[in-house]
Amino acid sequence: MVSARRSFEGTLPIASMSRLCEVLASADGVVRFELDFGRDSFGSDYVDVRAQASLTLICQRTLEPFVLPVVVDTRLGLIKHERDEAGLPPDCEPLLVPEDGRLNPADVIEDELLLVLPLVPINPDSSLPDEVTGHDLDEESAGHERSENPFAVLRELKK
């Protein structure tokens, strides 16, 4: 694929990616991908991975599902030995391939999607309801007046 500078594009069902499905709230949908294999001017083999998907995660703030659009656009330098990593250009992430040089494109796409997921998924449009936080708008404004100086209570005790 590298020598022929092959390119692939298509879709994969999210449900076919078992490791990715373990961290998702829903396995519905597809991943659109493009893979471009080649060799750069330094003689390094690479694959450009581009993928887009809408993944359903559980918000860790509200514990409700939300859809997170993810985009992958990375170049992976194909290496057979870990020592070859030093010879890769700075814009290449290393991808260790077996001795026979074969790799499963679906696994590469799944790996890259797992890497772009946030460690703690939080829906940017979410906020905790008042009954969870125990705050009320009236209490908040009164609380600011009372807690202007946190040491005021200690001053009273000292007298």
Q: Is residue 148 part of a domain?
A: no
Q: Is residue 1 part of a domain?
A: no
Could you write out the three-class secondary structure of the chain? CCCCCCEEEEEEEHHHCHHHHCCCCECCCEEEEEEEEEECCCCCEEEEEEEEEEEEEECCCCCCEEEEEEEEEEEEEEECCHHHHHHCCCCCEEEECCCCCCCCHHHHHHHHHHHHCCCCCCCCCCCCCHHHHCCCHHHHHHHHHHCCCCCHHHHHHHC
Q: Which residue has the higher pLDDT, 4 or 150?
A: 4
What local confidence, expressed as pLDDT, does residue 145 receive? 52
What local confidence, expressed as pLDDT, does residue 61 receive? 86
Q: Is residue 17 part of a domain?
A: yes
Q: Is residue 155 part of a domain?
A: no
Write out pLDDT tens, residues 48-63. 999 999 999 999 988 8
pLDDT band for position 44 (50/70/90)? confident
19-23, 36-40, 94-98, 136-140: range with lowest mean pLDDT: 136-140
Q: Which residue has the higher pLDDT, 112 or 61?
A: 112
pTM recorded for the entire structure: 0.75
Looking at residues 27-40, what average pLDDT do you find?
94
Calculate the alpha carbon distances from 11 to 3, 38, 56, 89, 127 in Å.
Answer: 24, 21, 17, 29, 34
Looking at residues 74-89, what average pLDDT do you find?
91
41-45, 103-107, 119-123, 148-152: range with lowest mean pLDDT: 148-152
Q: Is residue 135 part of a domain?
A: no
Contact (CB, 8 A) for 12 and 31:
yes
What local confidence, expressed as pLDDT, does residue 72 receive? 96
Domain with 33 in it: 7-125
Looking at residues 8-20, what average pLDDT do you find?
96
Alpha-carbon span 27 to 150, nearest angstrom: 50
What mean pLDDT value characterizes the chain?
86
User: Looking at the 3D structure of the chain, how many domains does it have?
Assistant: 1
